[in-house]
Structures are given as C-alpha cells and as structure tokens.
Amino acid sequence: MVAFLQLCYNWGEMKILLTHYSVKLEYSGDLQLAALQEDISATNLTYLHPYMNSELWNLVAQRIGNFGEADCKELLV
C-alpha cells in the first residue's frame, strides 16, 4: 500500500506542477472545475486522480486509518 500511495502522491505533484507551469495552460480548467463539483468531500480527488472515484479513496482512507502503518498514514495526510 505504501508503494501505491507514493505513486499517487508523486503523480499528483507532477500533475499540479505541469498544470501550473504549462505554457499552453491546457489543464488549468481541470483544477478550476474542482470547485464546481457537487461532491466537495475531502476524499473527492477525481480532478487530480481520475482513476479512482470518491468512494474508493474513502475506502482506502478508512482502511489505512484502521490498519495502516505509520508511513502509510503519513502519505495519506
């Protein structure tokens, strides 16, 4: 699980950096649309991680909160 969370973390950082520093600003609308979504829960990361929906992120967060090791919890925060 640590490897998966590290991969998600690195992907999110890279996507935000590419969005911020993109010359064409093609992806800037994606992150701005996040504010317009109906689901504004803390586990709704679909604008940044479209491969998992809000329910799956919530399940991952619950499992790590209950059974996860300290390094998993650190990556999740």
Distances (CA, A) of 29 to 24, 35, 74: 11, 10, 29
Query: Tokens 């679909």 sit at which residue?
Result: 46
Q: Rg of the chain's alpha carbons, rounded to an integer?
A: 14
Do 52 and 45 touch, CB atoms closer than 8 A? yes
The predicted structure's pLDDT at residue 29: 58
pLDDT in tens, 26-71: 555 555 555 556 666 766 777 788 888 888 888 988 999 898 888 8
The predicted structure's pLDDT at residue 18: 82
Q: How many CB atoms lie within 10 A of CB 57?
A: 19
Which one is predicted more confidently, 3 or 45?
Answer: 3
The predicted structure's pLDDT at residue 36: 58
The predicted structure's pLDDT at residue 35: 53
